[in-house]
Amino acid sequence: MNAPQNVEVPSKLLSRRDLEFMLYEWLDVASLASRARFADHSRDTFDAALDTCERIAEDRFAPHNKKGDQNEPHFDGERVHMIPEVKQALDAFCAAGLMAAGQDYDLGGMQLPTVMEKACFSYFKSANVATSGYPFLTIGNANLLLAHGTREQIDTFVRPMMEGRFFGTMCLSEPQAGSSLSDIKTRAEPQADGTYRLFGNKMWISGGDHELSENIVHLVLAKIPGGPAGVKGISLFIVPRKLVNPDGSLGERNDVALAGLNHKMGYRGTVNTLLNFGEGKFRPGGRPGAVGYLVGEPNKGLACMFHMMNEARIGVGLGATLLGYTGYLHALEYARGRPQGRPLAAKDPTAPQVPIVAHADVRRMLLAQKAYVEGALALNLYCARLVDEEKTAESDDAKRRAHLLLEILTPIAKSWPSQWCLEANSLAIQVHGGYGYTRDYNVEQFYRDNRLNPIHEGTHGIQGLDLLGRKVMMDAGAALQLLGREMLATAKSARETGDAELGRWADALAAAVADVGETTRALWSAGDLERTLANATVYLELFGHVVIAWTWLAQAVVARRAIAEAASDDERFYRGKLQAAKYFFLWELPKTAPQHALLRSLDATCLEMCDEWF
- Site for a second copy, residues 263 to 292, rule: CB under 8 A: 263-266
Site for a second copy in 586-605 (CB under 8 A): 586-587, 590-591, 593-594, 597-598, 601, 603, 605
Rounded CA separation 45/39 (Å):
11
Q: 79, 336, 470, 485: which one contacts a second copy (CB under 8 A)?
A: 336
Sites for a second copy among residues 89-128 (CB under 8 A)? none
Length of the chain: 614
**Closer Cβ to a second copy, 28 or 183, answer by number:** 183
The stretch among 156-164, 189-197, 400-408, 455-463 that binds a second copy (CB under 8 A) is 455-463
Count of chain residues binding a second copy (CB under 8 A): 98
Cα 214 from Cα 164, distance rounded (Å): 9
262 binds a second copy (CB under 8 A): yes
Decide if residue 41 touches a second copy (CB under 8 A): no
Alpha-carbon distance 262 to 254, whole Å? 22
Site for a second copy contains 79 (CB under 8 A):
no
Nearer CB in complex with a second copy: 8/193: 8
| Among the listed residues 358, 473, 488, 522, the single contact to a second copy using CB under 8 A | 358
State how far the alpha carbon of 345 is from the alpha carbons of 349, 355, 460, in Å. Answer: 12, 15, 45
- Residue 180: which H helix or E strand, with range? none
With a CB cutoff of 8 Å and minimum separation 6, the contacts of 325 are 13, 14, 15, 122, 126, 373, 374, 377, 421, 424
Q: Which stretch binds a second copy (CB under 8 A): 153-161, 300-308, 423-431, 505-513?
A: 423-431
- Sequence-separated (6 or more) residues with CB below 8 Å from residue 274: 175, 201, 202, 203, 204, 205, 208, 258, 259, 260, 261, 262
Position among 37, 43, 300, 448 found at the interface with a second copy (CB under 8 A): 448
Nearest to residue 543, comparing CAs of 385, 453, 410?
410
Report DSSP letters for 64-79, one per residue.
GHHHHHHS--EE-SS-
- Separation of CA 113 from chain center: 17
- Pick 203 or 491: Cβ nearer a second copy: 203
Residue 345 in the binding site for a second copy (CB under 8 A) = yes
* x/- letters, 188..227, toward a second copy (CB under 8 A): ---------------xx-----------------------
440 binds a second copy (CB under 8 A): yes
For residues 528 and 63, what is the distance between their CA atoms, to the nearest angstrom?
53
Site string for a second copy, 306-335 (x = CB under 8 A): --------------------------x---
Q: How far is the CB of 374 from a second copy (least distance, A)?
A: 11
- Judged by CB under 8 A, the residue of 313, 451, 471, 560 near a second copy is 451
Rg (CA), the chain: 25
**Binding range to a second copy, per CB under 8 A, among 83-91, 155-163, 437-445, 500-508:** 437-445
Task: Decide whether 249 or 350 has the Cβ nearer to a second copy.
Answer: 350
> Quick one: which segment of 75-83, 194-202, 314-322, 432-440 binds a second copy (CB under 8 A)?
432-440
> Among 339, 398, 507, 518, which residue interacts with a second copy (rule: CB under 8 A)?
339
From the CB of 97, what's the least distance to a second copy, in Å?
Answer: 34
| CB count in 10 Å sphere of residue 355 | 15
Beta bridge partners, 189, equal 197
Tell me whether residue 163 or residue 333 sits nearer to a second copy (CB atom). Answer: 333
Q: Mark whether 457 is an active-site residue.
A: yes
**What are phi and psi for residue 102, nearest 5 degrees?**
-95, 0
Choice between 496 and 608, CB closer to a second copy: 608
Q: Which of residues 463-502 bind a second copy (CB under 8 A)?
A: 464-465
What is the footprint of a second copy within residues 534-593 (CB under 8 A)? 534, 536-537, 572-573, 575-576, 579, 582-583, 586-587, 590-591, 593
Tell me: does residue 511 bind a second copy (CB under 8 A): no
Q: Which is nearer to a second copy, 13 or 534 (CB)?
A: 534
Burial (CB count <10 Å: 0-12, 13-18, 19+), residue 570: middle
Long-range interactions of 108-112: CB distance < 8 A, separation 24+: 108/159, 108/162, 108/163, 109/162, 110/49, 111/37, 111/38, 111/40, 111/41, 112/38, 112/41, 112/46, 112/49
Question: Which one of the listed residues 54, 85, 390, 457 is annotated catalytic?
Answer: 457
Question: Where does this chain touch a second copy (CB under 8 A) — which range of 134-142, 160-168, 447-455, 491-499?
Answer: 447-455
Q: At what angle do helices 360-392 and 114-127 cross, to 10 degrees?
A: 140
Binding piece for a second copy, criterion CB under 8 A, among 30-38, 193-201, 260-268, 544-552: 260-268
- The reply to whether 612 sits near a second copy by the rule CB under 8 A is yes
* Binding of a second copy by 520 (CB under 8 A): no
The single-letter code of the amino acid at 131 is: T
Q: Is 38 in contact with 32 (CB distance < 8 Å)?
A: yes
Catalytic residue numbers?
457
